[in-house]
Structure 1
């Protein structure tokens, strides 16, 4: 009997945690959706508070397709922002650094020895 009580408790805990994941996904989607007015967002949140399971089910059925599209768009935008940040932080490629140093040498700004040092540093 004790084993079945623990198993039942674990089942309900899993269902509750799954519901919390769905709830957070729904709330995140509500505030990510720019096409939905603030009043509709407030109405969805009020229904989520007072009729949580039914509202979550209706939301997932009614707006699930758009929810997936908005999530995909947000993930793509986050990936693009991360890649842009990495490119900005990483700086120039070694070939670009050598080309810039060669342009400085040709302009007479740096000597041949300084060019060789910059080239060695870029290739290391």
Structure 2
């Protein structure tokens, strides 16, 4: 085993992995905290600058203080943001579905073409062409 030959004990390896993992988690936490600070609209620029300065000057203590002071509201803001994004998405989906269902959908296009065919305004070949176009197929392609 190469590790045993280098003189690096197994517990030191575990300790190194634990420290590295802790560093990654702390670094991720800084991204979350800075993201929350700069997305907030309940504090002004000086408040944001103050929190940023505290976290930069005293990184671990500043992060812990921010989590203690703003932890609950931080979670509430994230939930509100997620709910707003979901509501906007659902609104867009309903708007697009309604627009396609009223006049632009394949069913409406085919029924309009059938009505024109029954009135004699178009030929059967033109009807088949319009139907294929509405269904997204090329003319003459089998169903």
How far apart in 1 are the matches of 2:39 and 2:122?
55
- Please tell me whether the aligned partners of residues 38 and 48 of structure 2 are also in contact (alpha carbons under 8 angstroms): yes
Equivalent residue number for residue 108 of structure 2 = 99
Q: What SS class does the counterpart of residue 100 from structure 2 fall into?
A: coil
**Distance change (3 Å), C-alpha of 1:36 and 1:115:** farther
Q: CA deviation at 1:79?
A: 3.5
Equivalent residue number for residue 111 of structure 1 = 122
1:28-43 to 2 correspondences below 5 Å = 28-43=35-50
How far apart in 2 are the matches of 1:101 and 1:14?
60
Q: Kindly report the root-mean-square deviation, in angstroms, between the aligned alpha carbons of the 2 structures.
A: 3.5
Q: Which runs of 4+ in 1 moved over 6 A?
A: none
- Please tell me whether the aligned partners of residues 105 and 111 of structure 1 are also in contact (alpha carbons under 8 angstroms): no
How far apart in 2 are the matches of 1:58 and 1:22?
13
Residue-pair matches, total: 122
TM-score by length of 1: 0.74
Q: What SS class does the counterpart of residue 111 from structure 1 fall into?
A: coil
Question: Larger C-alpha radius of gyration, 1 or 2?
Answer: 2
How far apart in 2 are the matches of 1:26 and 1:6?
30
TM-score by length of 2: 0.65
Q: CA deviation at 1:33?
A: 0.8
Question: Per chain length, whose mean CA-contact separation is higher, i.e. which structure has more relative contact order (CA < 8 Å, sep 6+)?
Answer: 1
**Distance change (3 Å), C-alpha of 1:6 and 1:30:** same
Equivalent residue number for residue 76 of structure 1 = 83
**Distance change (3 Å), C-alpha of 1:36 and 1:96:** same
- Please tell me whether the aligned partners of residues 47 and 55 of structure 1 are also in contact (alpha carbons under 8 angstroms): yes
How far apart in 2 are the matches of 1:35 and 1:69?
13
Q: What residue ranges of structure 1 are gaps of 5+ in the alignment?
A: none
**Distance change (3 Å), C-alpha of 1:34 and 1:4:** same
